[in-house]
Amino acid sequence: MAPQLGIVLVFFFWPALQAIEQAFYVEDAFGLSREFAGLANFEAVLSDATYYQALGTTLVFSLAVALGAMSIALLLAVMADRVIRGARVYRTLLVWPYAVAPAVAGVLWLFLFDPTLGLISSLLGNVGIDWDHKLNGAQALALVIMASVWKQMSYNFVFFLAALQALPKSLLEAAAIDRAGPWRRFWTIIFPLLSPTSFFLLVMNSVYAFFETFGTIDTVTSGGPGGATTTLVYKVYQDGFVGQDMGSSAAQSVLLMALVGGLTWFQFRYVERKVQY
Amino acid sequence: MATLRLNGIHKRYPNGITALHGIDLSVADGELIVVVGPSGCGKSTLLRTVAGLESISDGELMINEQRVNALEPAERDIAMVFQNYALYPHMSVFDNMAYALKNRGTPKDEIRRRVTDTARLLDLAELLDRRPRHLSGGQRQRVAMGRAIVREPQVFLFDEPLSNLDAKLRVQMRLEIRRLQKRLGITSVYVTHDQVEAMTLADRLVVMNGGHVEQCGTPMMLYAQPATRFVASFLGSPAMNFLPVTAHRDGVVLPNGVEVALPDMLSEGRAATLGIRPEHLVEATSMADAAAVLDVTVEMLEPLGADTLAYTRLPGLEEWLVVRLDGAHAAREGQRLSLAFAVAHCHVFDSQGARVPLAEPETQACQ
Amino acid sequence: MQYRRPGLDRLSHALLALCCLLFLLPVWLAFTASTHTLGALYSQTASLWFGEAGWDNYRHLLSGSFGGLGTDVLTLLINSTIMALGIAIGKIAISVLAAYAIVFFRFPFRRLCFWLIFITLMLPVEVRILPTFEVVADLGLLDSYAGLILPLIASATATFLMRQFFLTVPPELVEAARIDGAGPWRFLRDILLPLSKTNLAALFVIMFLYGWNQYLWPLLITNDADYLTIVVSLKRLLTSTDGLVPWQNVTTTAVLAMLPPVAVILLMQRYFVKGLVDSEK
CATH number at residue A125: 1.10.3720.10
Of B271-285, C109-123, C133-147, which gets the smallest average pLDDT? C109-123
**Confidence grade of residue A19 (pLDDT, cut at 50, 70, 90):** very low
For the stretch C241-269, pLDDT in tens is 566 777 878 888 888 888 898 888 888 88
Of A63-67, A108-112, C70-74, which gets the smallest average pLDDT? C70-74
Please give the single-letter amino acid code of residue B132. Answer: P
**Confidence grade of residue B16 (pLDDT, cut at 50, 70, 90):** confident
Mutate to test the interface with A, among C10, C16, C204 (most CBs of A within 10 A): C16
Chains A and B touch (3+ CB pairs under 8 A): no
Contact C119 A173 (CB under 8 A): no
**Confidence grade of residue C40 (pLDDT, cut at 50, 70, 90):** confident
**Confidence grade of residue A40 (pLDDT, cut at 50, 70, 90):** low
Q: Is the pLDDT of residue C70 over 50?
A: yes
In C225-254, the residues whose Cβ lies within 8 Å of chain A are: 231-232, 234-235, 238, 245, 247, 250-251, 254
Residue A225's pLDDT is what?
80
In C144-203, the residues whose Cβ lies within 8 Å of chain A are: 150-151, 153-154, 156, 159, 184-185
Q: Is the pLDDT of residue B100 over 60?
A: yes
Residue B235's pLDDT is what?
92
Cβ distance A92 to A203 under 8 Å?
no
Residues of B in contact with C176 (CB under 8 A): 80, 82, 86-88, 147
**Distance in Å, alpha carbon of C20 to nearest chain A alpha carbon:** 6
Q: Is the pLDDT of residue A54 over 70?
A: yes
Indicate the average pLDDT of chain B. Answer: 89
Q: Which residue has the higher pLDDT, A249 or C181?
A: C181
CA-CA distance, C77 to C41, in Å (whole number)? 25
Domain count, chain A: 1
Of A80-84, B111-115, C4-8, which gets the smallest average pLDDT? C4-8
Cβ distance A73 to A157 under 8 Å?
yes
- Reported ipTM: the value is 0.83
Mutate to test the interface with C, among B13, B68, B81, B82 (most CBs of C within 10 A): B82
Q: Which of A51, A106, A27, B202 is nearest to C30 (CA)?
A: A106
For residue B90, what is the nearest residue in chain C, using CA coordinates?
A: C195
**Could you give the maximum distance between any two Cα atoms of chain B, in Å?**
77
Collapsing DSSP states into helix, strand and coil, what is residue C12? helix
Query: Could you say which of A1, A109, A215 has the minimum Cβ distance to residue C231?
Result: A215
**Confidence grade of residue A8 (pLDDT, cut at 50, 70, 90):** very low
Task: Give percent above pLDDT 90 in chain B.
Answer: 59
* Domain map (residue ranges) of chain B: 4-229, 239-349
Name the CATH superfamily for B239-349. Nucleic acid-binding proteins (2.40.50.140)
Phi, psi for B349 (deg, rounded to 5): -120, 140
Indicate the average pLDDT of chain C. Answer: 79
Q: Does A268 touch chain C (CB under 8 A)?
A: no
Contact A83 C262 (CB under 8 A): no
Read off the pTM. 0.79
Q: Which residue has the higher pLDDT, B128 or C97?
A: B128
What domains lie within chain C, and their CATH numbers?
1-54 (no CATH), 64-280 (1.10.3720.10)
CA-CA distance, C215 to C152, in Å (whole number)? 12
Residue C115's pLDDT is what?
67
Residue C66's pLDDT is what?
64
Q: Which of C263, C257, C259, C256 is nearest to C57 (CA)?
A: C256
Contact B103 C170 (CB under 8 A): no
Residues of C in contact with B89 (CB under 8 A): 195
Of A153-167, B81-95, B256-270, B279-293, which gets the smallest average pLDDT? B256-270
Phi, psi for A66 (deg, rounded to 5): -65, -50
For the stretch C192-207, pLDDT in tens is 999 888 888 888 888 8
Range of the domain at A139: 57-274
Residue C131's pLDDT is what?
65
For the stretch A203-228, pLDDT in tens is 888 888 888 888 888 888 887 787 78
Q: Could you tell me if residue A1 is inside a domain?
A: no
**Confidence grade of residue A27 (pLDDT, cut at 50, 70, 90):** very low
For the stretch A262-272, pLDDT in tens is 777 776 665 55
For the stretch C128-186, pLDDT in tens is 666 677 777 777 778 888 878 877 776 667 777 788 888 888 888 989 998 988 888 88
Rg of chain A in Å (alpha carbons): 23
**Distance in Å, alpha carbon of C192 to nearest chain A alpha carbon:** 15
Rounded-to-5 percentages of helix, strand, coil across chain B: 30, 30, 40
**Omega of the bond leading into A225 within 30 degrees of 0 (cis):** yes
**Distance in Å, alpha carbon of A275 to nearest chain C alpha carbon:** 14
Residue C226's pLDDT is what?
79
Contact C122 A260 (CB under 8 A): yes
For residue B104, what is the nearest residue in chain C, using CA coordinates?
A: C181
In C151-170, the residues whose Cβ lies within 8 Å of chain B are: 170
CA-CA distance, C235 to A136, in Å (whole number)? 20
Collapsing DSSP states into helix, strand and coil, what is residue B220? helix
Q: Could you tell me if residue A151 is inside a domain?
A: yes
Q: Could you tell me if residue A7 is inside a domain?
A: no
For residue C198, what is the nearest residue in chain B, using CA coordinates?
A: B90
Fold of B4-229: Rossmann fold (3.40.50)
Q: Which chains touch C (3 or more CB pairs under 8 A)?
A: A, B
For the stretch A156-166, pLDDT in tens is 998 898 888 88
Mean per-residue pLDDT, B297-317: 91
Contact C117 A12 (CB under 8 A): yes
Residues of B in contact with C198 (CB under 8 A): none
For residue C177, what is the nearest residue in chain B, using CA coordinates?
A: B100
Q: Which of C253, C261, C128 is nearest to A219 (CA)?
A: C253
Q: Is the pLDDT of residue A85 over 80?
A: no
For the stretch B37-76, pLDDT in tens is 998 899 999 999 999 999 999 999 999 999 999 888 888 8
In C44-73, the residues whose Cβ lies within 8 Å of chain A are: 44-46, 48
Residues of B in contact with C173 (CB under 8 A): 86, 88
Contact C97 A12 (CB under 8 A): yes
